[in-house]
Amino acid sequence: MTGPVRFEVAGGIALATIANPPVNALSAALRAALAEAVTRAAGDPAIHALVIAAEGRTWIAGADISEFGKPPASPTLAELIALLDGCPKPVVAAIHAACLGGGLEVAMACTARLAGPAAKLGLPEVKLGLLPGSGGTQRAPRLMGAAAALRLMAQGDPLDAKAAVAVGLADAVEPGDLVAAARAHAAKLAAGPLPKPVSQRDGGLGARDDFEKEASALSKRAATEPQVAAMIACVRAAFEKPFADAVADERKAFLDLLQDPRSKALRHVFFAEREAAKIANIPEGTKPRKVERAAVLGAGTMGAGIAMCFANAGIPVRVIETDEAAMTRGLDRIRATYEASVKRGSLAPERRDARMALIEGAVGLEAAKDADLIVEAVFEEMGLKKQVFATLDKVAKPGAIIASNTSYLDIDDMAAATNRPGDVLGMHFFSPANVMRLLEVVRAKDTAPDALATAAEIGRRLGKVPVVVGVCFGFVGNRMLARRTQQVERLLLEGALPQQVDKALTDFGFRMGPCAMGDLAGLDIGWRIRKATGKRAPVADALVEAGRLGQKTGKGYYLYPEGARAGVPDPDVAALIEKVAAQEGVTRRAIGQEEILDRLLLPMVNEGARILEEGVAARPGDIDVVWLHGYNWPAWRGGPMHWADARGLKDVFARLTELARQTGDESLAPAPLLATLVAEDRGFASLR
């Protein structure tokens, strides 16, 4: 047998070895080859059992997602699994590595499963807005119990080999020759009565009450996720219906989810994150530079968080400050953050100690001389940053990458302060840096390809989602956020209240609205930036000048009585807004939630179109990834550009045109790219 499966027979035991790189995905060709192997083993009297093994970094990584939405090619995954389920001879899965999604459904249809030490077994379909669609919601409960199976599917994270055996998903861990052990186990099974297929093992579901308790908790936590509700219904059917009927229900639920807009959004996110990992316009084969030591300039909140990112990834890091007191405060801040994690039980004391051992403090830029990567996290003032970069140019060793954590400022200006512009780029972490996953990697005009590749690769080592963006004020995320912030200010002047503005976004799916978020961050931060740049925001400025800085002062847009974390509406704020509106000559009116939402989101989409047109972002999906991981855009909405496509760009164009006319705000006029796409009846997705 040729193709993605090799077939051989020795001692009456057939071995089918999967070789379908890069991840052994269940393509039509692989399904056909596996079906042929099962049929051949079943029909040959000289063959007593079949072992399915694989080579490469996975066993079977899951379905071939590129086939979603296309007419199914026979044999389908369900047909392959039916062949395994009905095989009259034992089939043993020898799982050496990742066995995920459809791969685990294949393994669960086998008679037995042996796992190597590096094996990982899971059903991650929840992350694509789907559920296991080929019997997984029925076989997993029969192997590991309904409550545990539901938890596995709803979390989407795999179990390691030992954990899989402990819950019954695998039969044993084999630390030695896995294929030899699987052959021996298959021969043993062939010598005795054939065990029942998993589909007929109804005694392993566990207590119904345990399942219902798990289902109830999940229903509350995942109310916006249709795939979780569908999973609960499917697993419940294992208690109530014959296997075949429950599998039919599962298949219908799977097909329904394929068409659900929330599920489509989650699949878009899946692909967008993988696309974002590919850096546009660098030579093929570009290799990142070696990074063995890092330095962070500044031990404030951001600098401390960035230093923790390096230590958490096992990279030694030196935190550099201008004096001993500031350096000590920074190290104390880091230590306190780790201590809080230990108290919560999320970090073992020995891991805290290991991480702290990787962090050292120092005074003076000379201390950056042996670092392979230097991240500048000083105050957001261009003169200061250029001074720092000019000094680093003299101090840093040849080939060291010098990165700025700036949120807004021009990386090209910083690079111009050095004689090594190819080594300079932006690495914009998001606060808190040790928690937030987004990393905007800012490509300056002269950034060397290998420097760019290094920053992206380091981002992944730090557990971040790196997205490469271009130079402009605010890059991608903050540039779009500025448009939303501008509209928040205008909406408040024109008649909305903070709680109405926030409700529009929380109803949409954001965890917090912009006013509550401003209070949490501190309203004085934006106020200082506006003062430095000559800009104004009448309402926000008035709040700060009245001493309302947010949660830290107990009052901002909201009132925070007795240190409460959740704010309550304050009549004094309504009066202040009315006073400011009168001073600005604005006549207030009632504004509905639909208009509020449109004015918050559509200007962001419009700015996203400009960003794409200018080449600041390479793909619409890159913008979506920025907003998903940096600004808590609800994943089931797919990001601003996907959401706009789903709404329809003709409607987006028409609504922006109308809002620009109604408000007299020219910034709301549709961007040229948006007009072009509408004229050509295309969406942002066509720009991929």
pLDDT at res. 71: 82
Strand partners for 8: 15
Average pLDDT, the chain: 95
Residue 146 phi/psi, 5-degree rounding, is: -65, -40
In this structure, CATH architecture of domain 294-473: 3-Layer(aba) Sandwich (3.40)
> Any idea what DSSP says for residue 559?
B
CA dist 19 and 294 (Å) reads 40
How many Å from the N-terminal Cα to the C-terminal Cα in the chain? Answer: 38
DSSP string, 621-673: HHHHHHHHHHS---GGGT-HHHHHHHH-HHHHHHHHHHHHHHH--GGGSPPHH
**Catalytic residue numbers, as ranges:** 105, 125
CA dist 267 and 260 (Å) reads 11
pLDDT in tens, 468-499: 999 999 999 999 999 999 999 999 999 999 99
How many CA atoms lie less than 13 Å away from 280 in the CB half-sphere?
A: 17
pLDDT in tens, 405-457: 999 999 999 999 999 999 999 999 998 999 999 999 999 999 999 999 999 99
CA dist 566 and 185 (Å) reads 59
May I ask the CATH class of domain 5-259?
alpha beta
pLDDT at res. 645: 98
pLDDT at res. 1: 47
Cα four-point dihedral sign 401, 403, 409, 414: negative
Residue 652 tokens, joined:
């987006």
- Residue-range domain boundaries for the chain: 5-259, 294-473, 496-583, 593-687
The segments of the chain whose pLDDT lies below 70 read 1-2, 65, 68-69
Secondary structure (3-state) at 35? helix
CATH number of 496-583: 1.10.1040.10
Residue 278 tokens, joined:
């590919």
Secondary structure (3-state) at 117? coil
Domains 294-473 and 496-583 fall in the same CATH topology: no
In this structure, CATH architecture of domain 593-687: Orthogonal Bundle (1.10)
How many CA atoms lie less than 13 Å away from 105 in the CB half-sphere?
A: 28
